[in-house]
């Protein structure tokens, strides 16, 4: 899909990530930022710059009548509106989905929100979504923003589905993308035991594990039987347990093992 237009009011991470993906798919994207700008630009300027390549950024104060009128004029010629405000905030600005649909019947709408009803106005961020699902191990903070980036991808697929439905004559529609639900999808491997300590992908298999080397760590992912057997033969191990594999890897540095594994087509990488 290409040659469609997007206006986004979404700041922080999920909205800009979704807008960047839509731009990659051919959209002409205009972003409206409040007078204070996007907090992401302050928190991580380099990533902000990358996500906004090819995107037109305008500053409007939507609390003023003149700037709201400018937005309304833009929406007349826009295919998709992307937001990340809580529903109450959208309503205060006159941007509730039903009201917008009445004024702009061709406009598809995707609203990124934190929680499902009746908690749609509850405050939250990636950390709280992950914490509630047991995906945070204190005191370390998450290295990946699963809810934000997963929610961004869901926003993109939802937007494309709405635009496709409109193209098929079903009219413009609106939908919410719930970040807590996006995090829930990432939490299912833990929920179902797959990544728990004794789970298949959580440390229960010697062939799918982390091992200390002479100078660091490697990640061995010999999950399929043919990879595991290839590893055992190459390592000349007759006792295929974690203790034996651990002793094997301690003999050489990580760079040695990555080269060794690549030559033998064994899935292994050094841990950065």
Mean pLDDT of 32-51: 97
Span 5-190: which CATH code?
A: 3.40.50.10540
For residue 112, the cross-strand partners are 177
Q: d(Cα 172, Cα 166) in Å, to the nearest integer?
A: 5
| pLDDT > 90 fraction of the chain, expressed in percent and rounded | 96
pLDDT score of 240: 87
- pLDDT score, position 120: 87
Residue 106 has a pLDDT of 96
φ, ψ for residue 212 (rounded to 5)?
-80, 140
Average pLDDT over residues 103-127: 94
Average of per-residue pLDDT across 21-47? 97
pLDDT over 60 at 55, yes or no? yes
**Model confidence at 1: pLDDT above 60:** no
Domain boundaries, the chain: 5-190, 208-270
Task: Output the average pLDDT for the chain.
Answer: 96
CB 245 within 8 A of CB 206: yes
**Cα–Cα distance between 149 and 156 in angstroms, integer?**
11
CB within 8 Å of 177: residues ≥ 6 apart: 14, 110, 111, 112, 113, 151, 154, 155, 158
Percent of the chain past pLDDT 70, that is, above it, reads 99
- Other CB atoms within 10 A of residue 270 CB: 17
**What is the per-residue pLDDT for 206?**
96
Confidence grade of residue 3 (pLDDT, cut at 50, 70, 90) = confident
How many Å is the maximal CA-CA distance in the chain?
A: 77
Tokens 């309304």 sit on residue: 72
Q: What is the mean predicted confidence (pLDDT) over 134-160? A: 96
The string of pLDDT tens digits covering residues 222-247 is 999 999 999 999 999 988 899 999 99
- What does the pLDDT average to over 13-40? 97
Q: What is the arithmetic mean of pLDDT over 160-164?
A: 97
The rounded Cα 92 to chain-centroid distance in angstroms is 28
Q: How high is the pLDDT of residue 218?
A: 98
10-38 mean pLDDT:
97
- Is the per-residue pLDDT at 2 higher than 80? no
Average pLDDT (68-94) is 95
For 139-161, what is the mean pLDDT? 97
* Arithmetic mean of pLDDT, 98-117: 96
Q: Which is more confidently placed, 239 or 10?
A: 10
| pLDDT tens track for 173-186 | 999 999 999 999 99
């Amino acid at each position: 899909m290409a040659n469609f237009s997007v206006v986004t009011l979404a700041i922080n991470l999920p909205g800009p990530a979704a807008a960047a993906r839509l731009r990659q798919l051919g959209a002409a994207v205009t972003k409206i930022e409040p007078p204070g700008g996007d907090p992401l630009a302050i928190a991580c300027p380099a990533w902000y710059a990358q996500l906004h390549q090819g995107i037109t950024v305008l500053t409007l104060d939507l609390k003023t009548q003149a700037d709201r009128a400018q937005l309304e004029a833009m929406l007349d010629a826009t295919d998709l509106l992307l937001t990340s405000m809580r529903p109450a905030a959208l309503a205060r600005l006159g941007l509730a989905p039903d009201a917008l649909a009445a004024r702009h019947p061709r406009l598809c709408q995707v609203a990124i929100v934190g929680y499902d009803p009746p908690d749609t106005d509850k405050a939250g961020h990636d950390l709280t979504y992950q914490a509630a699902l047991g995906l945070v191990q204190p005191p370390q903070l998450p290295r990946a923003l699963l809810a934000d980036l997963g929610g961004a991808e869901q926003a993109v697929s939802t937007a494309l589905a709405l635009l496709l439905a409109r193209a098929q004559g079903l009219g413009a529609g609106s939908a919410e993308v719930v970040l807590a639900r996006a995090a829930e999808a990432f939490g299912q491997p833990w929920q179902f035991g797959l990544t728990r300590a004794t789970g298949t992908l959580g440390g229960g298999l010697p062939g799918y594990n982390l091992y200390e080397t002479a100078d660091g760590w490697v990640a061995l992912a010999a999950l399929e039987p043919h990879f595991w057997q290839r590893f055992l033969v190459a390592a000349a191990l007759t006792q295929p347990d974690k203790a034996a594999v651990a002793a094997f890897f301690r003999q050489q540095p990580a760079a040695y093992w990555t080269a060794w594994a690549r030559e033998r087509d064994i899935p292994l990488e050094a841990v950065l």
